Structure 1
């Protein structure tokens, strides 16, 4: 039996000691990439072959428009045990769909390539948002993708004592290449309760850019939006929408899509200080100057 849903932030308890670094980050070079994936191929295998050939340490990819065969996914849910603050739903099966919006973080797990994917799609007249299980995802047609290949730092999964989940962490490159391109970006993984909007504001100064874009995904413990109803469910999965970042004269906008533990969908621009991280958020901030 699952635990009761948390009603307030004070109800959310992570089992381990708090990490000393709440917004760990590393500078890197983010290189725009475009690739074509093959009809019928395994998404994870195709991405692994591509990144092995490219030499990037990790990648952050836009999977919007990707046509998929039947795939497995999970939703946010309460934990079964008295340790974890949240868990996943039972595995669900899509009959196949074209992703409307989706973000993939490609990094290493147990020495192999692994993709953390959050996606929004329409199916049988209904809207869905979930965490796709990458080993189950195969392509229903040739697909063109864009995103960023990372040089100088990347994502690698390891056990996180605070949350007792295996999560992507930021890791420096082991390369000694003296001709590496200059840094124009950073990657970060936020700790629990770090505000997503405020963290992006604080980290943006590290790349010394007047304008920047931010790409990523994660989980929030509720959220308030500038012009839409709040997300009151305190267990959620999110993805950042295209256009998130800061323009020179428009201020910072962090646009997200989200699904809470009750299956309610939310979208909008986040209110500063009103969007605490639940488990983690994995982000790429890129200079757009």
Structure 2
């Protein structure tokens, strides 16, 4: 039996001790990449092979436009116990769909490649947004995806003491980071860290007039500049295209989100109005990526 939904931020309690570092991060080199995917390809295996061949530690990928065969996914849900702040829904199944907007974080779990995927799609004219189960994803039609391969830092899954979830955590490759120029950093925000405020604070380390942001996560409600607020305090989100800040312009963080009731939300976040629920996994990157040669499976 699931517990009632929280009504305020004070109702959200995580079971473990609060992490001292609320904005853990690691610097890295992010290089643009493009991966061609053949029909019937198992997505996670293809991504892992590519990352291994290219010597990547992790990757952040845009799966928008990719068509998948039948797959499984879950939605945000109330907790099933007295400890965790939230949980996943029962598993849902899709008959297959083209992802209109999707982000995948590729990292390591139990020594193997693993992907955290949030996506928005339409199925039989019904809009959906959910957390896709990576081992169920198979490419339906030949296509290509783009993103950024990372060197010098990685997303590695481990037990997070504060939330008691196994989550991607950032891990610095100290030896490689000393010999690699960096143009980006990755982060996994702690609960209640505001998404927009955190991005602005972390971006200062890049010392660049403009930057881009990619990622996904969960929020405990959200206020938008251009839409009605998301009042539900358990949600899953993905950052939309064009998140970031241009020179002498305000940071813009457009997201898509789904709440406990399956309600969909879309808009540009208001600074200070989007506290993290469990974590947000992000890549923050300067504009210097244009000076880098893209990598592909033919390299």
TM-score by length of 2: 0.95
Q: What does residue 254 of structure 2 align with? A: 255
Q: What does residue 233 of structure 1 align with? A: 232
Map of 1:1-289 to 2, 5 A cutoff? 1-173=1-173, 175-176=175-176, 180=180, 182-288=181-287
| Two-structure CA RMSD over aligned residues (Å) | 1.1
**Compared with structure 1, are the counterparts of its residues 42 and 17 closer, same or farther at alpha carbon in structure 2 (3 Å cutoff)?**
same
CA distance in 2, matches of 1:102, 1:228: 21
State how many pairs are aligned: 288
SS in 2 for 1:253: coil
Residue 44 of structure 2 contacts residue 135 of structure 2 at CA under 8 Å; is this kept in 1?
yes
CA distance in 1, matches of 2:280, 2:178: 31
Report the alpha carbon displacement of residue 5 of structure 1 after superposing the two structures with TM.
0.3
Report the alpha carbon displacement of residue 38 of structure 1 after superposing the two structures with TM.
1.5
CA distance in 2, matches of 1:276, 1:251: 19
Report Cα offsets for 1:225-281 as digits up to 9, x if no partner. Answer: 001000001000000001000011431100100000110000110011110000000
Report the alpha carbon displacement of residue 206 of structure 1 after superposing the two structures with TM.
0.5
CA distance in 2, matches of 1:184, 1:273: 26
Report Cα offsets for 1:68-88 as digits up to 9, x if no partner. Answer: 000000000001100000000
The runs of at least 4 aligned residues of structure 1 exceeding 6 Å deviation read none
- Which blocks of at least 5 consecutive residues in structure 2 are unaligned? 289-299
SS in 1 for 2:148: strand
CA distance in 2, matches of 1:110, 1:60: 19
TM-score by length of 1: 0.98
